[in-house]
Amino acid sequence: MITASGTRRVPDRRADVWAALAVLHPYCAVCDVTYVVDGPTRKGTTFVCAPGEGARPGAGAPKGTIVEWTPARVVETRLELTPETWTTRIELADAGKGGAEGTDVTITVTHEPVGGSRLVRLVQRGAITRLVQRTVDSELAKLPEHLAQARLTGDA
């Protein structure tokens, strides 16, 4: 299992950041991903996703589950792919006294191989470590776009 984490401060209120990041909308233009969510968004909710707007996730589409849901504080999802599982945890904390300085967003991504050879995992470890860190860095870099999208749709 390989884990990477990073934090970025944004000037927005925690409630607005939560609305921009934690609520699964049918389509995310920033990520260019369509989500099909099974029921209300909360712990235990399942979803499937596919690249592109209006895409219809097929039988092999990645399946996800919300494994932790503490509104305005923490959301953690697990995405099951055939050879691996990806877990993404988003933690929000007020920055400064009472959130006067915005919100600190911490993103933690974990990659866990499913099956396969230990030798192959050992050989791939360096590349996977770099991929997981790049994923965290990319997600943190997209925060302003997610917040802008939420403001446009009236979610923030």
Contact between residue 99 and residue 14 where contact means Cβ atoms under 8 Å apart: yes
pLDDT in tens, 24-58: 888 899 999 999 898 888 999 999 998 999 888 88
Amino acid (one-letter) located at 89: R
> Whole-model pTM?
0.90
Contact between residue 117 and residue 22 where contact means Cβ atoms under 8 Å apart: no
pLDDT in tens, 75-134: 999 999 878 899 999 999 999 888 889 999 999 999 998 877 777 667 677 888 999 999
- pLDDT value, residue 100: 86
Contact between residue 111 and residue 117 where contact means Cβ atoms under 8 Å apart: no
Contact between residue 143 and residue 16 where contact means Cβ atoms under 8 Å apart: no
**Hey, what are 42's tokens?**
């909360």
Per the document, the length of the chain is: 156
- pLDDT value, residue 120: 67
Please return the burial class of 81, using the count of CB atoms within 10 Å of its CB with bins 0-12, 13-18 and 19+.
Answer: middle
* The pLDDT of residue 23 is above 70: yes
Q: How far apart are CA 99 and CA 12, in angstroms?
A: 9
* DSSP for 11-46, written as a single string: SS-HHHHHHHHTS--SEETTTTEEEEEESSSSTT-E
Q: Are strands 27-28 and 2-10 parallel, antiparallel or unpaired?
A: unpaired
